[in-house]
A and B are shown apart, each in its own frame.
Chain A
């Protein structure tokens, strides 16, 4: 009898594996596979017309921080690369803060409407997702360029005498990124604010808290999970943003995404591009860990 039971157990375990095999294959092929390929490429030698040669090399990784001096062939610090990394992190951070500042009141407004109005507002928030990102970004460009709607309007109103130059500046980039990523901040914030017990506001008000204290001591700590989720959803794709900086930043205000693209295209240096991609992944991971640690930690002790 025991053997029969053992056999049945072995069979059921084998079946479990077999049944989950398709999912595992897809998971591996879709998630881990490309990442492993990128990791391997970063340790190879660039071939002449793009692609890679299967010769082990650390040049790709060195290329992140250093470059060969054109005249002396010495390794010198590639400060241009560092500038791009710093710009990317800085712009992503500012975008996250801006989307929060705009998104929180928006989410609060929506969550405090009647159920019917709420559905309408949420619907309006998601409408931009229906249109191609590229087109929307070009549209923003049309609005902010020298002869665009914004400048024309301000000049006609007499607020400014000559157009504000926005195109291909960091401001243009930020406007575009805040616009693109705002829904990703609003939706998780809405979800937490929707669950927020509004009676706590009365309790706080009753216990001598003013409006600012109610925001700082009650609303923000309780909606913290939504703030974390929204910030991650905005910060991570921002760091790898490609289309927005490409169009609104022109050629010169690059972010990591554009820099990586350059290595796979014109630069014909796939190993460097791969090493940069992995570096981006590491930066994102570190940034997230640090963020969750500080914000989550406050919650534990606060």
Chain B
């Protein structure tokens, strides 16, 4: 279990999961969907659960919504235990992956559904629906059936429907996965805008690391039912705690090494300054992001000797694959503009340096 400190600038806790476990099946066939997961989500925070499919992120989301009950542990909302409450008695709404819009109702009726079920007066329902339609820019569609809308419009209706009852927390289950790339980018900005305007806590589930990095205040990286790391996008990208996080978020070079007085002695030779050394000893792994790798002339002091094995052109970037002395492959991402005439070619001998603070010790 990882100790989680609340993110910066976050005040009171909105949702808290306390030592949540969820097992499916029994005996030998038991599958641990969630194993001792604890996390605190602050009020008004855009919090993302990120991980590959099957990591338990959706199960955790459904638990906050009330569709699943934990095998053990508690879900708290504003400090109150809501674990035994059914979904219709939790002030929490969900934007479903499939949208799950009511096909027999118009756009306006869909948006007003939650308010009506809460028994709000008709005038209030009407006002709120109008406000929501304006918020998601769908006023001209109010009277349409949802089947007459495009995917992006349906997405907006689903959002407006979930926001209309002003929930304390809005849960979003991979809401953008059905949209094409361009629309997805637009909706990312839109979502962030809605979150800022409404001030509602958003808990967002995705397997798309870019989506997570661009929108979230904080990210929880999950894998195999465990919470791997919780932190801001920068923390997670720059200081991944283990190999899973380092490779799932962006790309990383992994270098075998041993610790020597707070520095890492690489297997390929050379002593480098590292972050995150927590008194480990013996063999460790050091992670370095490709854009933090610098190529210098062969034989420069403190540079690791390397041989270029491949150059892959990506437009703005060029990826330069090199082999270190011990055969470890390292990828350096170089700006094409800067390396245009540098005379890099396959087989050339070069020197390799890491940007200051770039090397991270992984705790796996």
Contacts and interface: CB of A to CB of B under 8 A. Distances in A.
A203 B96 CA distance: 8
Interface in A199-221: 199-200, 202-210, 213, 217-218, 221
Contacts of B118: 208
B103 A206 contact: no
A218 B67 CA distance: 18
Interface in B96-111: 96, 98, 100-104
Contact of A213 (B89, B101, B103, B117): B117
Contacts of B65: 206
Contacts of B101: 203
A208 B67 contact: no
Contacts of B360: none
Nearest to B116: A217
A47 B2 CA distance: 99
A197 interface: yes
Contact of A207 (B67, B86, B104, B113): B113
Contacts of B281: none
Given A202-B67, A222-B103, A207 B114 contact: yes
B120 to A, nearest CB: 10
Contacts of B67: 202, 205-206
A161 B104 CA distance: 52
B207 interface: no
Contact of A197 (B87, B94, B100, B161): B100
A217 B112 CA distance: 13
Interface residues on A, range: 20 to 34
Interface residues on B, range: 20 to 34
A200 B102 contact: yes
B339 interface: no
Contacts of A209: 88, 113, 117
The CB with the most chain A CB atoms within 10 A, among B86, B87, B118, B161, is that of B87
A247 B94 CA distance: 57
Contacts of B66: 206
Given A213-B117, A299-B104, A207 B161 contact: yes
B93 interface: yes
Contacts of B93: 206-207
Contacts of B86: 205
B44 interface: no
Interface string B114-126: 1001100000000
A204 B114 CA distance: 8
B351 interface: no
A208 B119 CA distance: 10
Contacts of A197: 98, 100, 103
Contact of A203 (B89, B92, B100): B100
A208 B100 contact: no
B21 to A, nearest CB: 23
Contacts of A200: 100, 102
B117 A207 contact: yes
B227 to A, nearest CB: 25
B140 to A, nearest CB: 21
Interface string B158-189: 00011001000000000000000000000000
B253 to A, nearest CB: 43
B172 to A, nearest CB: 12
A224 B104 CA distance: 10
Given A207-B117, A208-B114, A218 B88 contact: no
Contacts of B113: 204, 207, 209, 217
A77 to B, nearest CB: 46
The CB with the most chain A CB atoms within 10 A, among B96, B102, B165, is that of B102
Contacts of B98: 197, 199
Contacts of A207: 88, 93, 113-114, 117, 161-162, 165
Contacts of B117: 204, 207-210, 213, 217
B88 A202 contact: no
Contacts of A302: 104
B165 A208 contact: yes
A213 B119 CA distance: 12
A143 B80 CA distance: 58
Contacts of B104: 218, 221-222, 224, 299, 302
B100 A202 contact: yes
Contact of B88 (A210, A222, A224): A210
Interface string A217-244: 1100110100000000000000000000
The CB with the most chain B CB atoms within 10 A, among A206, A209, A218, A222, is that of A206
Interface string A259-302: 00000000000000000000000000000000000000001001
Contacts of A221: 104
Contact of A208 (B88, B102, B103): B88
24 contacts: A199-B96, A199-B100, A202-B100, A203-B94, A203-B96, A204-B113, A205-B67, A205-B86, A206-B88, A206-B162, A207-B88, A207-B93, A207-B113, A207-B114, A207-B161, A207-B165, A208-B88, A208-B114, A208-B118, A210-B88, A217-B117, A221-B104, A222-B102, A222-B103
Given A202-B96, A205-B67, A208-B118, 14 more contacts: A200-B102, A202-B87, A203-B96, A203-B100, A203-B102, A206-B65, A206-B87, A206-B88, A207-B114, A207-B117, A207-B165, A208-B88, A218-B104, A222-B104
Minimum-distance CB pairs A-B, first 8: A207-B114, A203-B100, A208-B117, A209-B117, A199-B100, A221-B104, A205-B87, A208-B88
